[in-house]
Each structure stands twice: as C-alpha cells, then as structure tokens.
A and B are shown apart, each in its own frame.
Chain A
Amino acid sequence: MSTTTTDARRNPPGRGERFADWTDSRLGLHGAGRKNLRKVFPDHWSFMLGEIAMYTFLIVLLTGVYLTLFFKPSMAEMTYHGSYAPMNGVRMTEAYASTLDISFDVRGGLLIRQIHHWSALIFIAAMATHMMRVFFTGAFRKPREVNWIFGFTLLVLGCIAGFTGYSLPDDLLSGTGVRFMEGATLATPVIGTYLAFFLWGGEFPGTDIIPRFFAVHVLLVPGIMLGLFVLHIILVFYHKHTQYAGSGKTEENVVGMPFMPVYVAKAGGFFFLIFGVITVIAGLFTINPVWDLGPYRPDMVSTGAQPDWYMGWTEGLIRFMPGWEWVIPGGYTINFGVFIPLTLVGVVPIMMMAYPFFESWVTGDRREHHILDRPRNVPTRTGFGVAWLTLVFVLLTAGGNDLWATHFHLSINTITWTVRIAFFVAPVLAFWITRRICLGLQRRDREKILHGRETGIIKRLPHGEFIEVHEPLSQDELHKLTAHDQYAPLELGPSVDDNGVVRKQSPVQKLRARLSQGYFGEAGQIPKPTRREYEEITSGHGHH
C-alpha cells in the first residue's frame, strides 16, 4: 500500500533540522522517527477511552507533585490556628492541618487539590471502561495478552493509589476508612495481628500510617505505574493498534491517520480538552470537603460514610457478608465475615485478568488477532463480561445500602438480603440474558445479509398483496457483517475407537470440549450466511 503524502513543501535546512541531526547523531532519533512519525492509528470513539485514562494519569501526576510541596504527611498533633475559622483551636494532625492550609491559605491550592481528586476518579473510571472496551471487542487476544495484564495491573494499582491518597488528609471520613483497613488486616488468619502491628507501627491509629501511606502513594505506586504505563504504550506502538472490520481493513494492515500531524494535534489537543474540562469541574464542584468533617478521632464517625466509587464494590462485600466468626480448637478465631470478602477482593479481579488465557485455552487459537470482534459475535464472552459487571454493580449497591435505605425509605435488612441473593443469582441471569440478546442480534444480522434492510416502503403488488421493500446491503456492509471468524465447536469424538479400544479422554479434555460446545455450539452462535445461501436467495427475484 502506498503511503502517499500530499505534503510537498520544501524545508530549507533550518535551525530545527540541524538540531534534529545533532540529536540523531547522539540518540539515534531519526531511526525511531522513521518507524513512528507517520505511524498509522485507526479512528474510533471507543479508542478514546484509553486516551482519557492516559491523560488523567498525567494530570494526576502533575497536580500530585504540586500538592507534595504543601502537604505534611505527619501525624504529629497540633492545635489549628489557620484561616478556616470553624476549626480554630481544634486539635488535629499536621496532615489534616496542612490539607486545610492547601484548601484555604494557598492560593489555587484548593483548585489543584480538587483537580487531583476529580482526575483520580475519572482516571480509574476511564481505565475501567477502557478495559471493558478491550474485553468486549476481544482486543486482549494474541498478541496482546501481556498488555492486558499490564493494563489490569495499572487498574489495581490505580485503586491502591486512590485509597492511600484519599486516606492522607486524616479527616473523619478517611480515618474511618483506615480503621476499616486495620480491622480487615486483623482478620487475616494466623499473621493478621502481626501484620496490623507492623503496618501501623503498633496499635491503631499510631503515628506511622499516614507517612507510610504517603510513601506508597507518592513514590512506590506511581513509580511502578509510570513504568507499566510506558510499557503499555510501547506495546501499543509495537503491536500497532487494533481496528474494526471494514472496507480495506484486514488482519494484515492498519488503516487510519498518521501520528504526525493528525494524532499529534488530535490526541495532544485531547489532553488539553480533558485537562480543561476537569479544571472547570474542579472550579465549580466541591469534592471531598474535608473541612466539613473535622479531624479523625477513633471514637467518632459520620453517617453515610462511603469510599470513593472504585472501592464501593469492596465495601459491598464487607457489608452484605453474614457475621460468621468461628473459634477453632486451640483458641484461635477465624473471622470469616471479614476474611471471605478480603479473599474475594483478590479473586474477583484475578478472574478478569486470567480470562484471555482461559479463552485461548478453550479455542486453541494460536493466530494473531488485529480485527476486533463485535461483542454480539462472541455471545459467551460478552455474557461473561456482563455477568462480571453485574456482580460489581450488585456489590456497589450493597456498598451503598445505607444510602439506598435512607433515600428510598427501604429497610436496610431487606436491601442486604436482596443483595445476598442477587450476588449469586444476578450474574447468572445477566449471563443468560446477554447471550440471548447477542444471539438475537446475530440472527438479525443474518436476516439483514440475506434479505437486506427494511426500507419502510410498503408496496402493493398487482394481485393485491402488500410487501415491504427490502434494500440489499452494500458490499461494505455485507463485508462488515460477515468478516468475523466462526469457530467450529471442539468434538471429543467417540470414546471407543474403530477397533473397540477405549480412547483415553481426560476430564480436562472433556471440560474443554464442553466449554467449546458452550461457546461455539448450536446454542452459542448463529451460523453466518454462506455465499451459497446468499446467492440462492438473491438470485431469485421477488420476495420471500
């Protein structure tokens, strides 16, 4: 394919060019530029989600550096005499006092603090939706499984950064969150008590946890995230971006606009766009008004305490769990009521991380995939994804059960019991319904391919019959609707071979065959029309 350029301007060797040559002879920049300057990126709105994540991450880093200039990560106690009158004379930690200073004494400090918090929320939301896009379109398939793991790790680290970050101001709400962490740490069997004493530097709350969270929040986690983020982007460049099926797009090419100049302007501009929007939001809408709540005290609490949204599902797990607590022989306590949720907090995300490997094991497909799936064409995967999301939403509901109760005048016990049942039932239902919808959409695609699009024009035939005129699809549309691969389900074959000898079939093989049937058997996909079916129907004129 040609890479024709309309640019025919001749540049006299100016200062810029000489500088480029200077750097090239030292850093080898021209070589990297040759590969990447005109690198093609396909265009689709769903590819923007990852960009939002990237830019909000940069905004969080920028504003975070500013905040460290003023924030004092210390739990030393002092009496406040700053400009926020309602807190005058109140004893508090330096962490809380410096947060008040950032909000009320540093000009623009409140703005930066609010940009930091708003972008953190949007960052994690963007990572989550980006991950959904990658999941539902099958972009995680070979060769991108490793990048899926990088992205997943970034999401987990983002949540850790978020939790340690909103704990730093040491206000009444965040301190309650830290207390919850301590209670959860204590629930770890065998080592929990020691773990809690080592993390908190003694008994709760102590004076170490804020400085330690600070180190994790500004150094450890962002350092790892920055490294993973760079690797993530390098791999996107190296693999070249995926694209949706369409005219001229194949597994062997990538069609779109060049990085220089279109994406430099478009993506670079998008950074400013997002930064601008978040800045306006931060200027208009207060987030986390720590001054309302007062400093943390272990014997005080506010009602309606909620974590930031991305921790809501873990809050749900901890709230709807029955209070099972056993004392086992030997006089040891196992607090299942907290320990089981704690385990699930690890297991639920890991299921997601492992999915690409699970699917490639079921399909046995070793080919590279660069054309994205439409979610309907892989109903079982889509069903799993929606089931997983449903689970998270059920848990989010459980995490806000007190708010549901107070806002809608419902019984908290009823809500909690509903959620306990929904935890098991809703994902299964969601899986089943999603699969049915996908199959229905596949049937509609099949119908559209074979019979064309309904035009809404009603025609009366000479003998009086009314028909609706169907317009045949263009070749572009026909191609888009049929471009996906359809796997044949894996057959185990007879358990006895032709000579009557029993063939060994391991339980693993049997499981795999059953899964393959579920994914690609009759109930798992609608066969796409064959060329013959199409020709038989379209050659006969008239209607069917």
Chain B
Amino acid sequence: MSSQAGSENENNGEHLPTVREGGEGGVAVEEHDPFANPGLPPHEPRKQDIDERAAKRSERTVSLLFTVSMLATVGFIASFVAIDVDKIVYIFPLGHISALNFALGVTLGLALFCIGAGAIHWSRTLMSDVEIVQERHPIEATPETKTLVKSEWRQGTEESQIGSRKIIRRTLLGALTLVPLSGIVLLRDLGPLPETKLRHTMWGKGKLLINMNTDEPLRPADITVGSLSFAKPEGLEDGDHDFNKEIAKAALMLVRIHPGDIKDAESASWGHEGILAFSKICTHVGCPVSLYEQQTHHVLCPCHQSTFDLSDGARVLFGPAGHPLPQLKITVNDEGYLYALGDFDEPVGPSFWERG
C-alpha cells in the first residue's frame, strides 16, 4: 500500500494547502491579516506573584498538605499494628467491610493524595508560570547526514562482501530460517495430542447415575416433573485428582417430562418413563447449562444465553450454540437404579474441527 501511495503522491501536490496559515509566532505579516497569529500574549501575574501574603498562604497550604500526609502515614502504621485482620465493621453506606482494609486504604490514600495535592498546588501557585517557547526541529536528518549514513551502510555491506559471495549469503539465510524450527519443536511437549480424548467421557455401559448433591445412586422416583437434577458417573469422587477433567465432560442433567409432551420420539426412547439425561456442558463454548424453565422444558446457558428445548432432543432454540446437547441413553436396573446404556454417542461440549 505504501509503495502504491508513494507513486501516486507525485502528481497531486496541488490539493495540499501550499502555505501554512498563521505565520511565525507573532511576526507581522505584510498586509494586515485578520486571521494572523497574534503571538504569545503577555504574561499575566498571579496573585502570588505580586502579593507576598498570598504567596505565604500558598506556602502554608502546601506544607499543611505535606504534614497531613506524614500524619496519615503514621495512621497507616498504627492501623496496621492495632486493627485485627479479621475485624469487620459496619460503615454507612458501604455496609459490613473489613476494618483493617478500610483504615489502611483511607490512611495510605490520604498520605499519597496529600503529597500529590501539595506538589500540584505548589507548582500552580508558586512556581513560575511564564510560558516558554521552544523551537521544533524536523524529525528527519539533514540531507548531508542522510547521504553520509547511506554511504556508510553501503561501505559496510561492501566490506562484508555479502553481495558478491552468494554462497555465504544463501547458506546464512538457510541457517537463519531453519534455526527457529528448534524453538517450535521444543513446544511439542506443551501438551499431549488430542487423539480421541474429546470423544469419550467417563460414562459407559452399566454406570450408575449418582446424585451430585447426595452422592447416592438415583432412582426414577428421585426425578420429579418440573425440576432439574444433576448427576455424575459412578466411580467419580470429589477428591479424585482428575475430578475436574472428568466432570468437565461427564456432567449430566436429568429432567422428567410427561411422555406425551416429548416431541422427539428417538429422544423419548433414550430415556426412561420420560426421564431424559442430557450433557450439562453447553455446546457453544462449554459453560454448564443450568437455568431451567419448568413449564416449557427449556434450559438456558447463563454465560451466552443459548437456549435448548429438552422436550425436543435439546434442539437449539436461540443463541450462539451450534448443535443440540448430546443425550445419554439411560434405563433402570433390577434394583431400581438408573444407569447408563453406554457413553454419549457424540462428543460433548464445544465443537471442534475434527468433531464431524
């Protein structure tokens, strides 16, 4: 783009304003120009410049501010020593807050603020406020410097003979191109390869559905119409070292819908007497879907508001999710507990390139 612009700029200088308006700071222009720069106005003294009593007042204000700062620092140290770290106080309108945090914040804040306020008041009232004019100089170098630097650069490259010794130039380029590869290779062990890890969860044939809250296996009677229950697979305990990794894929939510209200026949056949088990992990970017509307059997993800219809195979009704929540096939064993008939038949959670 820049070379393009460069070639085109040659012929269109005429649309630029040729003369800068204004003239040199205050230098009179030949004929009277009503818009000319009138030049720097004369300095108007402040009260402190002419009245020593006003200046003294400013001096006292500044030193008072610095003194308050010193006292505040003493207050900070005193609060640090005296106030218990877990003491809670009620301060209107802030509510119940940590007494120590309040005291330290106010004293340190005051100590810092007063230094700042003092310094600024000092600079505004007592330090000279006579405006100074400094000339600017062009950012670019003079033509002589430019020529000199360019010729020195040329001399340097010529002395190196990089231009004439082709084989050196090419092998150097090759070496410099290859050497960063080592750095990239070193990144390989940042993590394992994905393989099929995203396609499997802990669920499998025969795994009981364990109530997330009670840690007890779930029976159909535990799932009532109008409520949302959460389950994890049998064998996953809260203290397990890979609990978070497994629950991030295996988290399950259960609803009971009157069989007549289930619109999707296949979805109904995957449940048990209207009890349907869906992945709790949103197919958008993986937040746990958790807001349930009991009348419509819609669930909403609180992160990005994707809405799924659990009575219709968890179809996406609204929002940024791209596909339905995967459903887990469940049934009841001889002892009357709900269990899974296998793993999810598609990957749970957000979609990915190889998902298919």
CA distance A183 to B352 in the complex (A): 8
B143 part of interface (Cβ distance < 8 Å): no
The answer to whether B8 touches A297, judged by C-beta atoms less than 8 angstroms apart, is no
CA distance A348 to B302 in the complex (A): 26
The answer to whether B198 touches A193, judged by C-beta atoms less than 8 angstroms apart, is yes
20 contacts between A and B (CB under 8 A): A110-B101, A114-B101, A182-B350, A186-B351, A188-B353, A197-B194, A203-B245, A208-B191, A249-B25, A269-B119, A274-B116, A275-B113, A298-B286, A299-B281, A304-B302, A318-B285, A318-B304, A325-B351, A487-B15, A538-B34
The answer to whether A478 touches B21, judged by C-beta atoms less than 8 angstroms apart, is no
CA distance A197 to B188 in the complex (A): 11
| Residues of chain B from 255 to 307 with CB closer than 8 A to chain A in the complex | 280-281, 284-288, 290-291, 302-306
A327 part of interface (Cβ distance < 8 Å): yes
- B contact residues, range: 35 or more
**What's the nearest-Cβ distance from chain A to residue B113, in Å?**
3
Closest to B49 in A: A6
> Given contacts A106-B85, A301-B288, could you give 19 more A-B pairs where the C-beta distance is less than 8 Å?
A1-B134, A39-B134, A183-B286, A198-B187, A238-B139, A252-B25, A252-B136, A257-B129, A265-B127, A272-B112, A299-B232, A299-B251, A301-B290, A321-B320, A338-B320, A360-B5, A368-B138, A416-B305, A531-B35
B120 part of interface (Cβ distance < 8 Å): yes
With contacts defined as CB atoms under 8 Å apart, how many contacts are there between chain A and chain B in the complex? 418
* Known contacts A183-B350, A186-B351, A516-B15; is-contact A199 B131 (Cβ 8 Å): no
The answer to whether A271 touches B116, judged by C-beta atoms less than 8 angstroms apart, is yes
CA distance A476 to B37 in the complex (A): 7
A206 part of interface (Cβ distance < 8 Å): yes
The answer to whether A280 touches B105, judged by C-beta atoms less than 8 angstroms apart, is yes
- The segment from A17-25, A161-169, A281-289, A387-395 that touches chain B is A281-289
- The segment from B164-172, B217-225, B236-244 that touches chain A is B236-244
- The segment from B38-46, B51-59, B151-159 that touches chain A is B38-46
A372 part of interface (Cβ distance < 8 Å): no
B75 part of interface (Cβ distance < 8 Å): no
The answer to whether A111 touches B117, judged by C-beta atoms less than 8 angstroms apart, is no
Instruction: List the A side residues contacting B60 at CB < 8 Å.
Output: none
A324 part of interface (Cβ distance < 8 Å): yes
The answer to whether A531 touches B34, judged by C-beta atoms less than 8 angstroms apart, is yes
B322 part of interface (Cβ distance < 8 Å): yes
Select one of A3, A38, A187, A360 contacting B351, CB under 8 A: A187
A365 part of interface (Cβ distance < 8 Å): yes
The answer to whether B136 touches A283, judged by C-beta atoms less than 8 angstroms apart, is no
The answer to whether B286 touches A268, judged by C-beta atoms less than 8 angstroms apart, is no
The answer to whether B284 touches A283, judged by C-beta atoms less than 8 angstroms apart, is no
**What's the nearest-Cβ distance from chain A to residue B253, in Å?**
9
- The segment from A436-444, A459-467, A488-496 that touches chain B is A488-496
- The segment from A220-228, A328-336, A377-385, A426-434 that touches chain B is A328-336
Instruction: List the B side residues contacting A470 at CB < 8 Å.
Output: none
Instruction: List the A side residues contacting B352 at CB < 8 Å.
Output: 186-187, 192-193, 196, 333, 335
Instruction: List the B side residues contacting A344 at CB < 8 Å.
Output: none
The answer to whether B38 touches A475, judged by C-beta atoms less than 8 angstroms apart, is yes
Centre residue among B230, B247, B290, B350 by max chain A CB count within 10 A = B350
Select one of B138, B194, B323 contacting A194, CB under 8 A: B194
A527 part of interface (Cβ distance < 8 Å): no
- The segment from B92-100, B175-183, B328-336, B337-345 that touches chain A is B92-100
A-B CB proximity, top 3 nearest: A283-B105, A183-B285, A325-B322
**What's the nearest-Cβ distance from chain A to residue B303, in Å?**
6
CA distance A333 to B187 in the complex (A): 26
The answer to whether A255 touches B101, judged by C-beta atoms less than 8 angstroms apart, is no
Render B188-215 as a binary contact track against A, CB cut-off 8 A, 1 for contact.
0011111001100000000000001000
CA distance A67 to B230 in the complex (A): 38
Select one of A208, A302, A323, A357 contacting B320, CB under 8 A: A323
Closest to B356 in A: A331
Closest to B240 in A: A77
A184 part of interface (Cβ distance < 8 Å): yes
